[in-house]
Amino acid sequence: MADRDVDGGDDRTDTTRAREGEKHPGHCPVAEGVGGDGDEIYLRSGETAPRYERQHQPLPKLAGFQEELERLITENERRPVRYRLDYLGIFRRLQEAGFQGG
């Protein structure tokens, strides 16, 4: 058994724990693919296929601004590389045009 402090704490370092085969207190077995609810193993087994597939991707907020977005992208591609807008710049221009989405 490990040495314990007067207050009951463990004096061993993480290196000592690892040498002794123990995991550190923040260890998460699910992150290593061990334990958990088995969803990952179930999905990889090939016994089942996803049943739901979306047929149409709706763009309710962007639909009214799709032409404006395409225009901004085309205009941006024509600019010299140094003066092109990044994605955030294009997004801000869309917002200036009245786009309320996020």
Give residue-wise pLDDT tens across range 65-88.
Answer: 999 999 999 999 999 999 999 999
* pLDDT at residue 87 in the model: 93
Question: Does the pLDDT of residue 20 top 80, yes or no?
Answer: no
Q: What is the DSSP string of 5-49?
A: -TTS-B---HHHHHHTTPPPTT--GGGGTSSTTSHHHHHHTSS--
pLDDT of residue 83: 95
Per-residue pLDDT of 21-53, as tens digits, reads 665 556 565 555 555 556 666 666 666 666 777
